[in-house]
Amino acid sequence: MKIVSLVPSITEALFDLGLTENEVVGRTKFCIHPQDKIKNVAIIGGTKTLILIRSKPSSRTLSLPTKRKM
């Protein structure tokens, strides 16, 4: 499964759970931890402005969005 994480805390948790850059394939510019593991993960924009053309879509991609506060 390929995961695109849009929340910094979730990005960090995914790596803490043992996932690698082979599974976490996209992140926002705010997802900066763990520094040693995210360096090869593509940046797909910010939390509100995504550049999805950079990610390679597949039928098994999971995006983890954040709940928007009003």
Residue with tokens 């803490």: 16
Tokens of residue 46, six digits? 């910010």
Alpha helices by DSSP H, listed for 1-70, are: 8-16, 35-38
* Model confidence, pTM: 0.71
Residue with tokens 């394939």: 25
| 5-57 per-position pLDDT tens digit | 989 999 999 999 999 999 999 999 999 999 999 999 999 888 777 776 544 55
Query: Which contiguous run of DSSP H or E holds residue 43?
Result: strand 42-43
Tokens of residue 43, six digits? 């940046």
Residue 70 has pLDDT above 80, yes or no: no
